[in-house]
């Protein structure tokens, strides 16, 4: 199974296991079992932030270091720097704590709750250079599931009544899209002292207004939030107003900075900056809304869209400074700017796969 597909499956299992269980250690214990069983690395486990030290939590593998000070080893440095560390060769890492000489590469991912780091995922491999951007992306999402406590009743309502609406939207805005925005929103929410229930709901509703057309879908999404009486079971009127504003502000072409951190979180989560995904979604939209266009017409429309939104001087703005989108946007701009043949090849692949589907 391809790595991304494996992580998608792992994420869903851990999300399900964590639902309704508020205890962090219990969550980590089950997550350890799933990660170790599915990924099969040398050592998989957790460290909890306890005062001025990291303390060993649930793990699978050989005996490990029980306590680690801030700034010491890979785990301590990830804590001190409050960021994920991917280490291709642990023996070259300054101050590495060798709990086992059999470990050769490592990834450490913070678990956050309301702006505070509360624990870490730590995975070691016998091989050098095991971990990459895919591991970082998915372990970050898994960490957000472990650190958040979204109300199960709210989740049930949204899954039963809101998410099914996306089935009727264009292929670029269906269930997989909103689920990705929800997951990314919870990742970003962990960095701030915000209400994760609100972040979850805003992400779930952000594109519901597409039922009334694309041009004003952001304002329609805001209206749907304001008029949904069921949301009063979990939120005050003030919170609902904030959520509606956030949904209205999420649209990249809106031309203004979101009015609250909730708007910035959902706007950033909606920016899924991956060149192949962007081009595929652009072609999907073109095929669905401009059926008269042939291959070359769709190519010209794709170029126009990329130029307006993603190229140098495009209208896309990023609102979360620490997220991965800045580096990804610059990499995509480099392709647009300097590699037209590669860009055309990405379009051809997307177009052929969609037409033949």
Q: How many CB atoms lie within 10 A of CB 272?
A: 15
Q: Which CATH class is domain 152-270?
A: mainly alpha
Which of 112-116, 236-240, 325-329, 334-338 is least confident? 325-329
Chain segment 135-152, per-residue pLDDT in tens: 999 999 999 999 999 999
Chain segment 276-304, per-residue pLDDT in tens:
999 999 999 999 999 999 999 999 999 99
Instruction: At 73, list the tokens.
Output: 């080893």
Task: Write the pLDDT tens digit of every residue in 16-53.
Answer: 999 999 999 999 999 999 999 999 999 999 999 999 99
| Cβ-contact 118, 48 below 8 angstroms | yes
User: Which residue matches tokens 């899209």?
Assistant: 177
Q: Tell me the percentage of the chain whose pLDDT exceeds 90.
A: 88
Whole-prediction pTM value? 0.87
**Nearest residue to 280 (alpha-carbon basis) of 173, 166, 145, 208:** 173
pLDDT of residue 102: 82
Q: What is the mean pLDDT of residues 230-255?
A: 92
Euclidean distance between CA atoms 245 and 202, whole angstroms: 9
Q: What is the mean pLDDT of the chain?
A: 94
- Identify the architecture of domain 3-147 in CATH: 2-Layer Sandwich (3.30)
Burial class (CB in 10 A: 0-12, 13-18, 19+), 317: middle
Mean pLDDT of the 329-333 span: 94
Return the number of other C-beta atoms located less than 10 Å from residue 267's C-beta: 28
Q: Is the pLDDT of residue 101 over 90?
A: no
């Amino acid at each position: 199974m391809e790595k991304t597909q494996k992580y998608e499956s792992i994420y869903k299992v851990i999300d399900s296991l964590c639902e309704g269980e508020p205890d962090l250690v219990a969550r980590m214990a089950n997550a350890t079992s799933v990660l170790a069983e599915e990924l099969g690395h040398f050592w998989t486990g957790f460290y909890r932030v306890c005062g001025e030290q990291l303390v060993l939590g649930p793990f699978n593998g050989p005996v490990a270091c029980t306590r680690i000070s801030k700034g010491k080893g890979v785990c301590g440095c990830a804590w001190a720097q409050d960021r994920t560390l991917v280490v291709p060769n642990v023996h070259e890492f300054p101050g590495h704590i060798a709990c086992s000489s059999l470990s050769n590469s490592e990834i450490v991912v913070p678990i956050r709750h309301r702006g505070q780091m509360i624990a870490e995922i730590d995975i070691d491999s016998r091989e050098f250079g095991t971990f990459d951007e895919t591991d970082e992306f998915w372990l970050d999402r898994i960490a957000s599931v472990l650190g958040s406590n979204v109300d199960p009743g709210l989740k049930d309502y949204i899954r039963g009544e809101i998410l099914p609406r996306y089935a009727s939207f264009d292929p670029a805005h269906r269930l997989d899209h909103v689920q990705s925005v929800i997951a990314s929103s919870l990742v970003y929410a962990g960095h701030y002292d915000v209400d994760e229930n609100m972040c979850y709901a805003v992400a779930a509703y952000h594109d519901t207004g597409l039922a009334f057309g694309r041009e004003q879908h952001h304002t329609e999404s805001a209206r749907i939030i304001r008029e949904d009486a069921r949301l009063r079971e979990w939120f005050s009127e003030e919170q609902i107003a904030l959520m509606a504003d956030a949904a209205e502000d999420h649209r990249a072409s809106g031309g203004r900075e979101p009015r609250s951190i909730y708007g910035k979180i959902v706007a950033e989560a909606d920016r899924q900056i991956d060149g192949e995904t962007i081009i595929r979604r652009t072609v999907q939209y073109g095929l669905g809304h401009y059926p008269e266009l042939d291959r070359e017409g769709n190519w010209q429309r794709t170029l126009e869209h990329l130029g307006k939104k993603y190229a140098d001087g495009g209208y896309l703005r990023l609102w979360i400074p620490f997220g991965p989108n800045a580096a990804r946007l610059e990499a995509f701009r480099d392709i647009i700017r300097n590699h037209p043949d590669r860009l055309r090849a990405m379009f051809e692949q997307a177009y052929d796969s969609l037409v033949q589907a």
